[in-house]
Amino acid sequence: MKTRLVIVRLLVGSLAVLAIAAAMYRYCRMRSRAEEYFQPTWNSLRRHTDPQWLKDAKFGIYTHWGPAKNQSIDDFKAEKFNADEWADLYQKAGAQFAGPVSEHGGTRVVMWDSDITDQNAVKRGPRRDIVGELKRAIEKRGMKFMVSLHTFSPAESRMMPGGKAWEVVDKYQPDLVWFDLAVGGSLDARLHSGLYIGGKKVANRTANNYGGQEKEIYRKQFLAHYFNKAIDWGKEVQVAYKEYDFPPGIAMRDIENGRLKDLAFDEWMADVTIMRCTYADNKYHDPWLYEPGATFLPAKNLIDELVDITSKNGRLLLSVGPMPDGSFPEEAKDRLLAIGKWLKVNGEAIYGTTPWLLYGEGPTELKGVDVGLYAQDHQPTFHDLTDMMHEGKLQFDHYSQLSQIEYQPEDIRFTAKGNCIYAICLGWPGDSITIKSLGTRAALREGDIKSVRMLGVDGDLRWSDRPEGLVIQTPKTKPCDYAFAFRITTK
């Protein structure tokens, strides 16, 4: 009897110890989690860092699609929309993240199951949860899911607590949220008006329209809410924006339909439309939504842009507008499949890479001036600037995609991963090529190189490291149709 009593007391004591230990663990975990959470202050939000998945992901796809500006949502039927077919196409194109424009333009129609507005695709029009269907299809294929908010309605805040941005985050848990317009400083204050250049109010301009519709406190509150939700979800997330909407180091900046001239020290993104600008009413414009008669960028140009952007610490978000019924134009499919085919051969030089010491070398130089400074001195209209870009006078910064660049075989872009440097020639180099930046008087020294290969070709290539550059004998056959990547393995 005494033995049983001793055993019972030991068990009770052990359970008590375990309960205390569990309580202490929960307390410590709660305290640890509390320390992880963000406060709605810029100092606290600066602790947020770029997700590793977004550092590694260099190519994404999103879709401008919905009722036209002057079309009733009830006439938007989306009868051929198939989320699985869309996601299959994204996957075949080699995209690592993808998603829809969840609200666009003056229509103020949202493409998700909203409790805030009846102007949504579930209650009207297609009567389908476009955002939800795409989330399931995209994530099922191992890609990260993004949403974007594009609005021209200054009377409504998306970022205020309980607003549309909060709702879409809470309901769909996206990995990336991209704000196109109406956050704050953004493109309007810099490009259209020239009032704020490089984060500074221009002294000789009397106008003062920087703020946009989103109060500063709403921006802080939304970011803290989203980043804290991500901690609860166990996800790494990011926000993308245009210009001076948030302090540096908190989110990722985007260059709209353009490129940067130089290697950037911050991670950035370019959102680029796959369709060529057309000429209408004597003004150039970009078709983001599908437009009958629009032409499509050649696969070579798209791949060259992907390589150039990657080498400069960026990633490409390609806009592909489906037709109103939800099907993709054949030209768009052809371009996406061509990118995917190229990435199957050369993805090693793109995915998971970092920038190298230099982004590139070669004869092609981007023309132009800083657009913000130009706007300050000349006070051009928006169409004046886009005309100049289309004519090739401004070839970097926002909207510079209007000026297509034809790169040469001597134009080389660099990326790096592990103990490898990748040199990507934006054209077939011929029987041999000399890469000046890899000469023994440049970045490398004699004996640094172990081997050289061209991706997609079996076997090492003949090479010699010289003061004037790394000289490589190219293979007899081309492994792909466009840019050609050398893997230089160092010791």
Distance CA 289, CA 320 (A): 8
* 421: nearest Cα among 351, 350, 347, 489: 489
Of the given ranges (182-186, 276-280, 429-433), which has the lowest mean pLDDT? 182-186
Give the pair of three-digit tokens for residue 303. Answer: 């791949």
Of the given ranges (154-158, 161-165, 299-303, 442-446), which has the lowest mean pLDDT? 154-158
Q: Rounded to an integer, what is the distance from CA 220 to the centroid of its chain?
A: 22
Reading phi first (left if > 0) and then psi (alpha if -120 to 50, else beta), residue 281 is in left
- Among positive and negative, which fits the CA dihedral 243, 244, 246, 249? positive
Domains of the chain: 42-349 (3.20.20.80), 361-402 (no CATH), 412-490 (2.60.40.1180)
Distance CA 63, CA 155 (A): 25
For the chain, what is the mean pLDDT? 87
* Per-residue pLDDT, 284: 59
* Per-residue pLDDT, 82: 98
What is the CB neighbour count within 10 angstroms for residue 23?
A: 10
Q: What angle do CA 205, 206, 212 make, to 5 degrees?
A: 95
Cα-atom radius of gyration of the chain, to the nearest Å? Answer: 26
Of the given ranges (65-74, 200-209, 251-260, 321-330), which has the lowest mean pLDDT? 200-209
Q: Rounded to an integer, what is the distance from CA 99 to the centroid of its chain?
A: 11
Letter string b/e over residues 454-473, b meaning 16 or more CB atoms within 10 A of that residue's CB: bbbbeeebebebeeebbbbe
Q: pLDDT confidence of 27, banded at 50, 70, 90? A: very low
Sheet architecture: strand order including 432-435:
432-435, 469-473, 463-466
Reading phi first (left if > 0) and then psi (alpha if -120 to 50, else beta), residue 460 is in beta
Per-residue pLDDT of 370-409, as tens digits, reads: 666 677 677 676 677 777 777 777 787 777 777 788 999 9
31, pLDDT greater than 50: no
Instruction: Evaluate whether 449 touches 488 at the Cβ level (below 8 Å).
Output: yes
* Per-residue pLDDT, 372: 67
Of the given ranges (184-193, 387-396, 448-457), which has the lowest mean pLDDT? 184-193
* Per-residue pLDDT, 30: 44
Angle between helices 164-172 and 216-233 (to 10 degrees): 0
* Per-residue pLDDT, 180: 83
Distance CA 257, CA 250 (A): 22
Strand partners, 478: none
Mean pLDDT of 109-137: 96
Mean pLDDT of 112-130: 96
Distance CA 428, CA 483 (A): 7
What percentage of the chain reaches a pLDDT higher than 90? 64
280, pLDDT greater than 60: no
Element (H, E) at 314: strand 314-319
* Per-residue pLDDT, 357: 96
How far are the Cα atoms of 94, 113, 317 from residue 35, in angstroms, in the given order? 38, 34, 34
The length of the chain is: 491
Of the given ranges (38-42, 275-279, 417-421, 486-490), which has the lowest mean pLDDT? 275-279
Rounded to two decimals, the pTM is 0.89
Higher-confidence position of 45 and 398: 45
Letter string b/e over residues 161-174, b meaning 16 or more CB atoms within 10 A of that residue's CB: eebbbbbbbebbbb
Distance CA 35, CA 41 (A): 14
DSSP secondary structure string for all residues of 392-441:
TS--SBTTGGGS-----TT-EEEEEETTEEEEEESS--TTEEEEGGGSTT
* Per-residue pLDDT, 450: 96
302, pLDDT greater than 90: yes
Residues 6+ apart with CB under 8 A from 184: 210, 211, 212, 214, 216, 219, 244, 245, 246
Give the pair of three-digit tokens for residue 200. Answer: 């500074």
Q: pLDDT confidence of 4, banded at 50, 70, 90? A: low
Mean pLDDT of 136-147: 98
Per-residue pLDDT of 313-350, as tens digits, reads: 999 999 999 999 999 999 999 999 999 999 999 999 99
